[in-house]
Homo-oligomer: A and B are copies of this chain.
């Protein structure tokens, strides 16, 4: 299926540092944050929320970047395109990716704009609420899309959050065109129900015309098709993409392949923080596809990776992911 391609998955997304802390519902209300969702904030609001967070943990994040990191940990050759500045947070992000053997050649922005940060507030129900200041990550442009790297990739993976910054939309439209021209599959994640609401029309058009593999959770796919009935969303989905993946929390996931719905069970684990659950389902699933596993095995791999990430704080794995999936799901890549 993928001949002469030396990159398994190339991700394009926001280059973001996560700042994680515990918070209660009152904290979210005080700052007008929607529980369980991502709210875009400006630099001032970001600074104000940051100043009130206690016992903060900082680490590299970003939805597509998390997925790419997971793929690399699973032994897949991976690459990332995203914009950061040459500042402290931007340099942490860059060195974390490069030190993990991920190809990351996007030049940093030099306008003085600070690098992006995502403040993640974890409530005692393990739900995570995000306030994102996009900073330089929103300055991704056409020039940053490396055609040669896309041509060398089996799968190009794009995050829905990239619909927020206007210039980035152009950039990843171009990425999808390059992918088509060079016989790479296009995978896309809806990212967030509110993000879908902000860009529903454009997203639908993009999915119908460019996307082969679509990732979403229940809320996001219902929002995309403006329905409360999951089955209706599946019906739309089966006609527009080759493979649709709908993650469903503790209920597992559904993989929609034309008229067939494959059900994948979740692995039981002690859930502490759901940050990265979707990103790591995608990592496992795409790792499976890039190694020519069938959809069900790829789904099990996704569910296993997901169970590692939700058992602790933060969107990057704490355990050796290859060993973890071997022990948890008996899968060797």
Contact = CB atoms under 8 A, between A and B. Distances in A.
Interface of A: 51-60, 69, 88, 92, 95-96, 99-100, 124, 272-273, 312-314, 316, 318-320
Q: Which of A55, A56, A272 has the most CB of B within 10 A?
A: A55
A58 B60 contact: no
In the A-B complex, the 8 residue pairs with the closest CB atoms: A54-B99, A58-B58, A57-B59, A54-B100, A312-B312, A55-B96, A313-B318, A55-B316
A53 B95 contact: yes
Contacts of A55: 59-60, 69, 96, 99-100, 316
A56 B88 contact: no
A24 to B, nearest CB: 11
A57 B319 CA distance: 14
B57 A57 contact: yes
A103 to B, nearest CB: 14
Nearest to A59: B57
Nearest to A93: B56
Given A57-B316, A58-B59, 12 more contacts: A52-B99, A54-B96, A55-B59, A55-B96, A55-B316, A56-B59, A56-B92, A56-B96, A57-B314, A58-B58, A272-B319, A312-B312
A314 B59 CA distance: 12
A52 to B, nearest CB: 6
Nearest to A318: B313
Nearest to A316: B55
B318 A54 contact: no
A85 B52 CA distance: 19
Contacts of A313: 312-313, 318
Nearest to A98: B54
Contacts of A52: 99
Contacts of A56: 59-60, 92, 95-96
A18 B229 CA distance: 47
Contacts of A316: 55, 57
Contacts of A319: 272
Contacts of A54: 95-96, 99-100
Nearest to A313: B318
A316 B312 CA distance: 13
